[in-house]
Amino acid sequence: MYAIEVERLTKIYGKGETAVTAIADATFQVTPGELVAILGPSGSGKTTLLTAIGLINEPTRGKLVIDGTAVADGGWLPGLDLKRLRREKLGFIFQAHNLIPFLSARENVMIALEINHLTRTEARNRADELLSALNLGHRLDNYPSALSGGEAQRVAIARALANKPSVILADEPTAALDTENGKNVMALLKELAVENNSAILVVTHDHRMVEGFDRIFHVSDGRIAGEETNGVQHAGTAPALQG
C-alpha cells in the first residue's frame, strides 16, 4: 500500500480571467518510509501541493489517497472527517517552527498527544522520550524563546512525529536555519522516515539540502517537470509521473 497516492491532482485558485492553475495534473505515489523532496522556484506550486496532500487546501480536480483512505476525487469526498484524518495520519512541520510561545518544549509536544486522547502521564512520557531522542533531553522545560533555531525546529519535528503519522509534510523546514543546522534537520528527517516507516515530503528551494533523499520532484509552473531517484529502490514503486 502507498502512503500517498496522487492522480492528476489539480488546484486552480479563483475563477475566470484571474484563475491561477497552481498545480496541474500531478500524478505520483509515495511509499511508507520514503523521503521525497519537492524542489522548485517561488510560485511553482510547492506549498499548494503540500497543503492539498495535508487536507487543508481542497483540490479542484483529481484523486488523492492518504494511507489507503480515499480523500479527494474532484474535491473532498463526502462524509470524511478531515480534521480527524489530519490528526491521525499527518504531521506538519513549517518554515517557522510554529511552537506555542507560552508552553515549554515538553508541553508543546504533549499537546499534540493529548489531542489524540493520551493521558497526561502517557503524553509526558512520550514527549520526553521523543525530545530525548532528538537530543533535547536537557531542554524539556525551556520555552521556545529560550531555544536556538535548530532546537526549536527539532521540537517542532518531535511534535509532528508525536502521533506516529504515516505521512509527514514539511514546508521549507530549514529555511530559518544555517546550513549546518539545516543539514542536521534534513538528516534527522531521513532517519525518522526509515525508523517510523513514515512517508516524508519536504518542500525546499535549496538543492543543497536534499542529499540522500530517495526521490526529488522538480516542480515548475504547477507541473512536476522531472524526477530524480537517489539510489534507494523501493519494491513495487514505478512512479507514474505526468507533467
Ligand X SMILES: Nc1ncnc2c1ncn2[C@@H]1O[C@H](COP(=O)(O)OP(=O)(O)OP(=O)(O)O)[C@@H](O)[C@H]1O
Binding interface with ligand X (CB under 6 A): 13-14, 20, 22, 40, 42-48, 205
Judged by beta carbon, residue 24 or residue 66, the one nearer ligand X is: 24
- 205 contact choice in ligand X, Mg ion, none (CB below 5 to 8 Å, kind-dependent): ligand X
Nearer to ligand X, 220 or 237 (CB): 220
| Pairs from 236-239 (Cβ < 8 Å, separation ≥ 24) | 236/31, 237/2, 237/29, 237/31, 237/34, 239/28, 239/29, 239/215
- 20's contact among Mg ion, ligand X, none, with CB below 5 to 8 A by partner kind, is ligand X
Closer to Mg ion by CB, 29 or 47: give it.
Answer: 47
Task: State in angstroms the smallest separation of the CB of 207 from Mg ion.
Answer: 16
Strand partners, 37: 202, 216
Of the pair 47, 104, the CB lying nearest Mg ion is at 47
Tally of residues, the chain: 243
Distance CA 242, CA 106 (A): 43
Please state the closest distance from residue 169 (CB atom) to ligand X, in A: 12
Q: How far is CA 8 from CA 21, 72, 82, 89, 177, in A?
A: 13, 11, 21, 22, 34
The site map against Mg ion for 31-60 (x = CB under 5 A) is ----------------x-------------
Cβ 18 to ligand X shortest distance, Å:
9
Give dist(CA 74, CA 50) in Å, integer.
Answer: 17
Question: Which residues of the chain form contacts with Mg ion (CB under 5 A)?
Answer: 47
